[in-house]
């Protein structure tokens, strides 16, 4: 028998599986069954009925991983970028922002007070060495009548309160909102502040009270709540809202306000 690959003579008997090993090329050959040997074939005549055993099948290729859509093909449509998530400001950042704004207003108030103090010191320094007696204006200043600052955004109730105070010969200035009230205090500190707790504007009545009480030069300034807001009594006005006195608006409120202001004048 001859090997169909190298044409070498193959000797030896097939093994139990019918395979014969070619010593020339190392091919594993299988003998044809007797039934198929009758079929004439040119190669079969030369190889004496030997055929090469089928080669082992190559390992199956692994499935290729699917590429993302954005890089699968050149020129393919890409997905739109995902917008960055915007973090909402935390409660701590909000509180810190309010504190910084409060400090900015305090610094502005202190700057105004320092300017007024510098002007007063300059006027005192202008006195000559023989000017040992203070000018008459200082004596008038020391005997001045105590004054009131009224902060109210309701023109009608503000006018009624001013009329009652002026009839009692109490000097009074007015302001329509919290910011104007702070500016009026910085310009000239009153002896009593009358406040509508429910004023409108950028600064609420509660913020105004906190600002006054947080400023060292104004911490002893009495505040009377002359308000339309429902407050149960003096205890709530002092503990919850930080005020010194309470006069609810209503019938006879202007007269009651004058009496409360005069009582504070006597305490001071």
Of 39 and 28, which is predicted with more confidence? 28
Q: What is the pTM of this model?
A: 0.49
Statement: residue 106 has pLDDT above 70: yes
What is the number of other CB atoms lying within 10 angstroms of the CB of residue 170? 20
Instruction: Tell me what pLDDT residue 255 has.
Output: 92
Which of 210, 217, 216 is CA-nearest to residue 242? Answer: 210
Instruction: Tell me what pLDDT residue 230 has.
Output: 86
- Residues 241 and 197: their CA atoms lie apart, in Å, by 9
Instruction: Tell me what pLDDT residue 88 has.
Output: 57
CATH code reported for the domain at 145-267: 3.40.50.2300
The residue ranges of every structural domain in the chain are 1-54, 145-267
Which of 207, 212, 196 is CA-nearest to residue 152? Answer: 196
Statement: residue 202 has pLDDT above 60: yes
pLDDT band at 251 (very low <50, low <70, confident <90, very high): confident
pLDDT above 70 covers a percentage of the chain that reads: 67
């Amino acid at each position: 028998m001859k090997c169909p690959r190298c044409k070498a003579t193959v000797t030896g008997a097939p093994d139990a599986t019918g395979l014969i090993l070619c010593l020339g090329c190392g091919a594993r050959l299988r003998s044809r069954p007797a039934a198929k040997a009758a079929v004439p074939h040119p190669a079969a005549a030369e190889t004496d009925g030997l055929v090469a055993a089928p080669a082992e099948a190559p390992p199956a290729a692994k499935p290729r991983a699917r590429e993302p859509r954005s890089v699968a093909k050149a020129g393919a449509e890409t997905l739109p970028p995902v917008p960055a998530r915007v973090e909402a400001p935390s409660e701590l950042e909000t509180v810190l922002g309010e504190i910084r704004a409060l400090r900015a207003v305090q610094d502005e108030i202190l700057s105004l007070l320092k300017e007024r103090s510098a002007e007063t010191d300059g006027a005192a320094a202008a006195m000559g060495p023989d000017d040992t007696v203070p000018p008459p204006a200082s004596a008038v200043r020391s005997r001045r009548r105590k004054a009131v600052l009224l902060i109210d955004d309701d023109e009608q109730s503000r006018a009624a309160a001013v009329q009652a105070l002026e009839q009692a010969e109490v000097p009074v200035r007015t302001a329509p909102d919290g910011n104007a009230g702070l500016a009026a205090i910085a310009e000239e500190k009153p002896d009593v502040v009358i406040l509508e707790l429910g004023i409108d504007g950028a600064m609420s009545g509660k913020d105004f009270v906190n600002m006054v009480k947080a400023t060292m030069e104004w911490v002893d300034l009495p505040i009377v709540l002359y308000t339309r807001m429902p407050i149960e009594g003096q205890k709530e006005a002092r503990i919850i809202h930080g005020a010194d006195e309470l006069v609810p608006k209503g019938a006879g409120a202007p007269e009651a306000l004058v009496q409360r202001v005069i009582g504070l004048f006597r305490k001071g």
